[in-house]
Structure 1
């Protein structure tokens, strides 16, 4: 058992399958309440770059367009702050955040964000493009743009967040198997859940599946299939020569909404430059067919927007890194048990390509569901019984001009064997 003792142990109270952002958080929160009772299983090495949970930085924000998320955001911050307090390491950085669009295009979305924050008593500031430029001179915007600013938005260090969750979980006695693929899940003759892996069989009271793009590979043996679109995404880091203007204390995270793309940016953090990317704009793939090759077209889309609104952010390309999103058609989280399929003791969570900001809180929620059978947080919008997961003709909300679904997969996303 990689770097863990107890390799001959077969029974654990709880097993977590997939130890990325959400899975590592579940390990941590479970281990706080059930020391020495938790096993994490990861098919690759910890910190791998095959999925979607590893990078320098991810946006965290109070600003959300939907109450289902906005109600959770204050507790999201509290979860990260508790982790920081216990570890002594900073993961959460408040830079402020901007949501913006051109007037007459997607300014109604900016208004929706503002309205949702107001309804949830989250302070925010409405800005014309000229006011945005005065507040943050890096933005060369005029009154052809509108924006909403929220002071508590910022970034979370994903790589450190994952590592801290894992290290603290191990400190609480959690065991972790790396480079260990799950083959299937079933029950033994006594009805105990059994997780069959390439390194042996393990038994538990409940299992939590946080397997990202491999979710249906794990759930398939239970007769469970979740409609998930796996897309290959990418982020680009630029070496701006104007570094002082793009540090975390001077440059906010931002999201630009347009009819064709949603594009986001982050300040310099870690050994990187400014970060920019198209959100959910990549081609539909499987974990087997994806490549690690950047798409020059999407790089250009980002650079064109920077030239328009943030020209001083542009510098030599440091690198472009690919990752995988795994998204239900409505791009909402899945947080539920598989009880309708006869598996109340199997809990599944999918982050829909935008969950890292919520990762620690989702881990806490999953631990409550596993240990207590319920959670105090409102996750009613994220159930397995909703229309988007039951209607095979539900049109994916995130597939725009940059991401086409082949006709053969439109009604059966991720139908290929993973």
Structure 2
């Protein structure tokens, strides 16, 4: 531990941002470092300003790229560990459909999924519209719709997972400071430690993990570091279906539907009495502190029209629409790296690119290994800071799953 200087408070490890990934990092650090761990949260725990506080998130096994599939199995085991420790069920298996029309150009994503999942020995089924509707009669689909179905996918209780990580971390001795805004970082005089100046005072530590979501560039400003992150206002709408039993978690799967304009998604009932629907990466770019309080009525209507056409039994009054932030890199890949190239090897940076919650427990574990051990055993090279998407100003962003690996000569099972 670095030498104390009153009134500076000393810790070994500090996590900036205690949303989904940050709370997981605090937990995994606390298992090995106990009271030497500090979590700093800009708002109150459980706030709704960011991107990870909601009733539900996907946890799934279907991906088109090896960099994700290599991590999927431990995404499950890390959540199962805290389920055992807490006695609280967090994963609810429902199965998942990835759907599109095979007569539309964006259907090319399905062969990429099939190829990658087959290579990594992940199970899936290809279903036509007739079979989808036989298994799940809640759908009413165009005859050209096909789907990749994975039975292991499920609903991950996001709000509960965040709270469980924090409460288990506190049981291990970790400290959490709420309503604490980071103002700037600087190196300590020894050059080995970092001083974290905040609205509640200054803290010193050996390693800092930044998991600040949409506020990442604000937090990094004092380090003269800025990432090409696009922050958007996203929205999920909860619909009060009159057919509640048909949309319970044991009868209705998760789904994603790739249309020409949107990537629609839907959840069974979980956390309240509404069916959750929305369109991913469909929102307007905003500043993180300007998340609107009022719903986007136009996007509500798009979601309802999708339900009327494809899931008519789900249609009902809108319960409410919930906003959140996406912090998206141009290639929609994560950032998991140190700031060594900027002269701060003591600082570890994470950006979730608007879809990291599926790996919430695992990424917390990976970040803790990087902080304590200086490296992780998990393959994260695809998420380094030195990649083209983060350094080429002419890199064209793709937020909608269209940039998937091509598979020359691969015969799709559509």
Give the TM-score category using the shorter length.
Answer: over 0.9
Please give the per-residue CA displacement for 1:181-230, whole angstroms capped at 9, x wherever unaligned. 00001112122210000110000000000000110111111121111000
Residue aligning to 2:345: 344
Residue aligning to 1:10: 9
Cα RMSD after superposing both structures: 1.4
Residue aligning to 2:367: 366
Answer yes or no: is the 8 Å Cα contact 1:128–1:142 preserved in 2.
Answer: no
Residue aligning to 2:190: 190
Answer yes or no: is the 8 Å Cα contact 2:231–2:287 preserved in 1.
Answer: yes
Residue aligning to 1:134: 134
- CA positional deviation for 1:344: 0.6
Residue aligning to 1:145: 145
- CA positional deviation for 1:249: 0.5
Residue aligning to 2:214: 213
Matched, 1:74 2:68: no
Please give the per-residue CA displacement for 1:164-191, whole angstroms capped at 9, x wherever unaligned. 0000000000001000100001112122
Which stretch has the larger CA shift, 22-31 or 56-65?
A: 56-65
Residue aligning to 1:376: 377
Cα distance in 1, alignment partners of residues 8 and 93 from structure 2: 43
Cα distance in 2, alignment partners of residues 177 and 325 from structure 1: 24
Please give the per-residue CA displacement for 1:237-277, whole angstroms capped at 9, x wherever unaligned. 00101111100001000000122010100000122411001
Give aligned pairs, total: 394
Residue aligning to 1:328: 329
Cα distance in 1, alignment partners of residues 350 and 255 from structure 2: 27
How do 1:236-247 residues align onto structure 2 when only pairs under 5 Å count? 236-247=237-248
- CA positional deviation for 1:8: 7.2
- CA positional deviation for 1:395: 1.5
Cα distance in 1, alignment partners of residues 68 and 144 from structure 2: 29
Answer yes or no: is the 8 Å Cα contact 2:263–2:400 preserved in 1.
Answer: no
Please give the per-residue CA displacement for 1:303-324, whole angstroms capped at 9, x wherever unaligned. 1211121100111100001111
TM-score relative to the length of structure 1: 0.92
- CA positional deviation for 1:110: 2.4
Please give the per-residue CA displacement for 1:29-56, whole angstroms capped at 9, x wherever unaligned. 0000111110000010000000011011
Which stretch has the larger CA shift, 381-390 or 186-195?
A: 186-195
Cα distance in 1, alignment partners of residues 117 and 133 from structure 2: 23
Matched, 1:115 2:115: yes
Residue aligning to 2:405: none
TM-score relative to the length of structure 2: 0.93
Please give the per-residue CA displacement for 1:73-109, whole angstroms capped at 9, x wherever unaligned. 1110001001101111011111000000012112221
Q: In structure 2, the residue corresponding to 1:72 is in which secondary structure?
A: helix
Residue aligning to 1:159: 159
Cα distance in 1, alignment partners of residues 297 and 65 from structure 2: 32
Answer yes or no: is the 8 Å Cα contact 2:14–2:209 preserved in 1.
Answer: yes
Q: In structure 2, the residue corresponding to 1:116 is in which secondary structure?
A: helix
Q: In structure 2, the residue corresponding to 1:36 is in which secondary structure?
A: helix
Structure 1 unaligned residues grouped into runs of 5+? 1-6, 401-418
Which stretch has the larger CA shift, 184-193 or 36-45?
A: 184-193
Answer yes or no: is the 8 Å Cα contact 1:58–1:157 preserved in 2.
Answer: yes
Q: In structure 2, the residue corresponding to 1:132 is in which secondary structure?
A: helix
- CA positional deviation for 1:142: 4.6
- CA positional deviation for 1:112: 2.0
Cα distance in 1, alignment partners of residues 137 and 111 from structure 2: 23
Task: List structure 1 segments (4+ residues) > 6 angstroms apart after TM superposition.
Answer: none
Please give the per-residue CA displacement for 1:102-142, whole angstroms capped at 9, x wherever unaligned. 12112221232222211111111000011111111111125
